Structure 1
Amino acid sequence: MSDELVEKVRAGNDHAFRILIETYKQTIFRTVYSVLRNQKDAEDVTQEVFIKIYTSLPQYNNQGFKTWITRIAINHAIDLKRKRERQKEESHEEYSSDPQLGLSDDVEALFFQNERRRHVLRKLNELPEGYRDVVYDYYIKEKTFKQIAEEQQIQVKSVEVKLYRARNWMRKHWKEEDFS
């Protein structure tokens, strides 16, 4: 089935590619999540992987599609993880050596980060009140669990539970298309 869909995609059939995405998105997400251990990053990288799969289809030679896309996903996730670790080290070094330099020199990353924040702010009002503050503090203000717990005078574990429940609420009530 996959090889037939691949041939249709190569022939320019966008619907066939949508079917491939639907068929393999959970597999790719689980694979990427196993490397990154962060749901938000895994969701973003899953989308990037499908773009990479689409652009790499001409190189695919019909030798196990699932294995091929899984390898692409793992490599992409590992690359991202390494890149972020390097950026943290470099940012820390730059910041400590020259206070004039900002931590966000990558304009493109900053743009997408700001776009995501604006969209989340719009959707934030839909959240139940008990979850809204935790989600806002964690994702928008980028506070740690400990900072949120201290400000709200609750335990760190309570912050984790609230954020977990908020994510479940969002998964249940928001559609993926809302964020496309």
Structure 2
Amino acid sequence: MCKVKRKGERTISDTVLIQKVLEGNDHAFRLLVEKYRNDVFRTVFAVLRDQKEAEDAAQEVFMKIYTSLPKYEGQGFKTWMTRIAVNHAIDVKRKQVRRREEVVDALEQAALATPRDSIEKEIIEQDRRRLVRSKLNEVPENYREVIYGFYIAEKSYQQMAQEQNVQVKTIETKLYRARSWMKKNWKEDDFS
């Protein structure tokens, strides 16, 4: 059992602190936050790889922990809390990707600003992009990021490897497997 020690007091177990929080003692929750804030920060930072985003996400994780505490069933508190932190960080990461896609869409739209006589071409291009995006959702999740990064965001292997904190060879392998999957599962007619 993990213990918190305050100046001049005996150690207090997580179970006792949790019970006090459930009884309305906010100071007990502050002690839990103080005890686990570094663990929560490290967990979300491992996923997000951005100091500011990780700080914000860690605060949001503690709010989730506070509101979810009545559902806590006494299994390892640190494990339970870490699972909440990981899930929240993954959600934040997904939102970041969606925001990037929206920015790319806005930039594409600005680049496509054309005279009226080519509106038909613009509509066809939008439909094609929409189709590619919907098809991209069919791709297994572990290939999606590398396909998006290489073909839509036009990043180099080195950029993607650096962002994902992996070797360039890993990116090459993922992209090769993603292409193989697409050849096997998609027909050229789907895009014409």
Q: TM-score range by the shorter chain?
A: 0.5 to 0.7
Residue identity (%):
59
1:58 Cα deviation from its structure 2 partner: 1.1
1:94 Cα deviation from its structure 2 partner: 2.9
Q: How many residues align?
A: 99
Q: Give the corresponding residue for 1:41.
A: 53
Give unpaired runs (5+ residues) of structure 1: 100-180
Spell out, residue by residue over 1:68-108, the C-alpha distance to the aligned partner (whole angstroms, 9 max, x if none).
Answer: 00000000001000111011102221342258xxxxxxxxx
Give the TM-score normalised by structure 2: 0.50
Q: Give the corresponding residue for 1:27.
A: 39
Q: 1:69 aligns with which of 81, 94, 106?
A: 81
* AA matched with 1:84: Q
Alignment RMSD, CA only?
A: 1.2
1:51 Cα deviation from its structure 2 partner: 0.4
Q: Give the corresponding residue for 1:10.
A: 22
Whether 1:92 and 2:88 are equivalent positions in the alignment is no
Alignment of structure 1 residues 65-144 onto 2, 5 Å: 65-97=77-109
1:30 Cα deviation from its structure 2 partner: 0.6
Q: 2:71 aligns with which of 38, 53, 59?
A: 59
| SS at 1:96 equivalent | helix
Larger Rg: 2
Q: Partners in 1 of 2:106 and 2:15 — Cα distance? A: 48
Q: Partners in 1 of 2:81 and 2:90 — Cα distance? A: 14
Q: Partners in 2 of 1:34 and 1:85 — Cα distance? A: 17
